[in-house]
């Protein structure tokens, strides 16, 4: 419904201001341009989603490990946390060239950029989950002489799953952004992602095709976010405490 | 010690070596006659300067059911945490079976705790929650399962063994929590206002069941509550504590018949005892 309104508004703006196609193409032209080269768009979307998924899964595993390390030692948390914040605040545009220098152009660099951008929310959320535990439950574990490992695997980690799901939703969206930004800089190989197609199309003043690619990236973001949300909700069903 | 070494040399299972304690911990044949829980001039200061307990002296014989009443914030939970060896006293003596609680817990007297909230793990079924202490103690899996099933039956939750906590009522969750405490077959049971959040009917029902379990198993029970009727109904003895810093200000024996049922709650003896406890509590708070 909203989509229909947006399309109508877009169309009216183009007509009302008499905008040229290289300024803002008509929605119908975008659809047409996209359809003409839909195989190329599909390949690029698949390529980008591959890089985003790779970056996301890396974030999920590395972020969880870092979160666990933080939860085991305050000293580690205090000394490493500032670097984790650095990840959050550094402009990726500034370090992308360095990453390409290290990893070369191509998929691996794109994955690394997606990973760096999507790592932070996993670390903070899982760390929060691992460290905010019902004190009575900790006492229960202590009373039965539980080891650190038992406390981690039987109490902290399962207890942190809801936080991990929250972090994963944010991280999944960021990984798509990261993949596209990564492709801007490092995507020029035999396989092109959306982040490579968009600036290329705009450079050739093919606004309509560029817009089609932008829409594909937005859709990809939605699909990735939706998938993670659905999987997360399923997982969390067991975690919910009733309200008797 | 010699036996220990032989055990290790012969490569007997680890538990054999573990069961061998240094000579000073060999069980005293007279031990059952001595009080199981001894607190003498006990003091506890929390970091930050709060003195929760001061000069608390209390002796509990093995197998006794004691209730502890007192104004809120007087240190009742603190006392239970000390007895469980979860925190250390600042001054004074506290022993369980003649040893510091944290040592007793690992050697002679298994202890269990029941909290005000059921504190079940939401991602585990009832049976999974009940089994947890045995997992932590690394008992063999088959044994874990048998004991967990028994404990679940004991509290009347057999039908709900495979349900998740969210599918249970408050009373049933508390039963699961009780089963989790009993599964290790503890010698000492520490209960911190376990039925405080339940409605009256559920509470009375659980009181009767708990009493029944105690009569059959005979653990030493220290039961913290705000409810006078509950304390009188369950206990052989009621302790009243002063406001913070907490110490024992009244020690009231409950001389009621050992078979206690709903009818007892309406008896004159029960009313007289409840009145006495209430009076002591009022004096303590004044
Ligand atoms: N971890 C803690 N740190 C500092 N003060 C505490 C802590 N736990 C309890 N206290 C204080 O000690 C006093 C006794 O607490 P508690 O044993 O929980 O009382 P009760 O169970 O009788 O209500 C209270 O005043 C409380 O604020
Ligand atoms: Mg308390």
Ligand found nearest the CA of B70: 1
Residue A33: closest CA among A162, A214, A228, A176: A214
Q: Helices (H), strands (E): how many in chain B? A: 11, 9
Residue of B nearest to A157 (CA): B123
Residue A211: closest CA among A220, A224, A202, A223: A202
Q: pTM (2 decimals)?
A: 0.82
Domain boundaries, chain A: 25-242
- Put simply, the answer to whether A150 touches B136 (Cβ < 8 Å) is yes
Q: Give domain A25-242's CATH superfamily.
A: MetI-like (1.10.3720.10)
Residue B153 pLDDT more than 70? Answer: yes
Q: Give the model's pLDDT for residue A189.
A: 64
3-state DSSP assignment of residue B249: strand
In this structure, of A224-238, B122-136, B253-267, the range with the lowest mean pLDDT score is: B253-267
Query: CB atoms < 10 A from the CB of B28, how many?
Result: 11
Per residue of chain A (244 residues), give pLDDT as tens.
788 888 889 888 888 888 887 778 888 888 888 888 888 888 888 889 999 999 999 999 999 999 999 999 888 888 888 888 887 787 878 888 888 888 888 888 889 999 999 999 999 999 999 999 999 999 999 999 899 999 999 999 999 999 999 999 999 999 999 999 888 887 666 567 888 888 888 888 788 888 888 889 999 999 999 999 999 988 888 777 654 3
ipTM for this prediction: 0.81
Most confident listed range (A42-51, B100-109, B124-133) = B124-133
Q: Give the model's pLDDT for residue A187.
A: 61
Band (B25; pLDDT cuts 50, 70, 90):
very low
Give me the residue from B113, B164, B168 closest to A139, CB to CB: B113
- In A73-193, alpha helices (H): 74-89, 92-103, 107-131, 135-143, 148-151, 157-186
Residue in B46, B113, B284 to alter for ligand 1 test, most ligand atoms within 8 A of Cβ? B46
- The residue assigned the tokens 């009216």 is A12
Residue A179: closest CA among A85, A82, A47, A70: A47
DSSP string, B224-239: E-S-HHHHHHH-SEEE
Distance, in Å, from the CA atom of B242 to the CA atom of B278, rounded to the nearest integer, reads: 13
Beta-sheet strand order (sheet of B50-60): B50-60, B37-46, B91-96
What value, to the nearest 5°, has the Cα angle with vertex B276 and ends B227 and B69?
Answer: 35
- The residue assigned the tokens 């104004």 is B71
Q: Check if the beta carbon of residue B24 is closer than 8 Å to that of residue B100.
A: no
Distance, in Å, from the CA atom of A156 to the CA atom of A237, rounded to the nearest integer, reads: 18
Q: Give the model's pLDDT for residue A86.
A: 81
Q: Which residues pair with residue B66 across a beta bridge?
A: B222, B237
Omega of the bond leading into B245 within 30 degrees of 0 (cis): yes
Residue B7 pLDDT more than 80? Answer: no
Give me the residue from A136, A154, A239 closest to B117, CB to CB: A136
């Amino acid at each position: 419904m909203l989509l229909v309104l947006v399309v109508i508004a877009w169309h009216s703006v183009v007509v009302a201001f008499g905008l040229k196609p290289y300024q803002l193409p008509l929605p119908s032209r975008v659809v047409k341009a996209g359809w003409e080269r839909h195989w190329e768009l599909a390949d690029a979307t698949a390529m980008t989603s591959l890089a985003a998924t790779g970056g996301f899964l890396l974030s999920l595993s590395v972020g969880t490990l870092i979160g666990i390390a933080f939860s085991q030692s305050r000293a580690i948390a205090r000394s490493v946390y500032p670097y984790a914040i650095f990840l959050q605040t550094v402009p990726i545009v500034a370090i992308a060239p360095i990453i390409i220098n290290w990893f070369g152009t191509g998929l691996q660099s794109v994955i690394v950029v997606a990973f760096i951008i999507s790592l932070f929310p996993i670390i903070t959320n899982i760390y929060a989950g691992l460290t905010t535990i019902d004190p009575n439950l900790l006492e229960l574990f202590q009373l039965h002489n539980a080891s650190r490992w038992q406390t981690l695997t039987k109490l902290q980690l399962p207890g942190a799953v809801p936080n991990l799901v929250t972090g994963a939703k944010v991280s999944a969206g960021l990984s798509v952004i990261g993949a596209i930004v990564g492709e801007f800089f490092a995507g020029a190989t035999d396989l092109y992602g959306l982040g490579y197609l968009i600036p290329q199309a705009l450079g050739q003043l093919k606004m309509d095709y560029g817009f089609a690619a932008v829409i594909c990236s937005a859709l990809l973001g939605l699909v990735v976010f939706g998938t993670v949300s659905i999987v997360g909700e399923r997982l969390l069903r067991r975690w919910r405490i009733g309200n008797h | 010690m010699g036996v220990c070494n032989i055990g290790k040399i012969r490569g007997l299972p680890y538990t054999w070596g573990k069961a061998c304690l240094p000579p000073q911990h060999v069980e005293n044949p007279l031990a059952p006659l001595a009080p199981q829980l001894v607190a003498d001039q006990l003091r506890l200061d929390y970091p930050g300067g709060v003195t929760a307990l001061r000069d608390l002296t209390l002796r509990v014989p093995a197998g006794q059911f004691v209730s502890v009443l007192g104004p809120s914030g007087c240190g009742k939970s603190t006392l239970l945490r000390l007895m469980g060896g979860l925190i250390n006293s600042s001054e004074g003596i506290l022993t369980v079976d003649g040893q510091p609680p944290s040592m007793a817990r690992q050697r002679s007297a298994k202890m269990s705790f029941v909290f005000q909230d059921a504190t079940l793990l939401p991602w585990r079924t009832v049976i999974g929650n009940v089994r947890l202490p045995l997992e932590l103690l690394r008992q063999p899996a088959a044994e874990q399962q048998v004991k967990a099933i028994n404990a679940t039956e004991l509290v009347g939750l057999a039908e709900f063994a495979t349900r998740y906590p969210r599918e249970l009522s408050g009373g049933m969750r508390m039963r699961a929590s009780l089963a989790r405490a009993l599964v290790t077959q503890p010698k000492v049971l520490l209960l911190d206002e376990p039925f405080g959040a339940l409605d009256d009917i559920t509470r009375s029902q659980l009181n009767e069941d708990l009493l029944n379990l105690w009569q059959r198993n005979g653990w030493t029970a220290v039961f913290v509550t705000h409810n006078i009727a509950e304390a009188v109904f369950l206990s052989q003895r009621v302790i009243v504590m002063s406001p913070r810093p907490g110490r024992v200000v009244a020690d009231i024996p409950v001389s009621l018949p050992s078979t206690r049922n709903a009818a007892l709650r309406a008896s004159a003896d029960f009313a007289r005892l409840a009145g006495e406890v209430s009076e002591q509590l009022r004096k303590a708070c004044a």
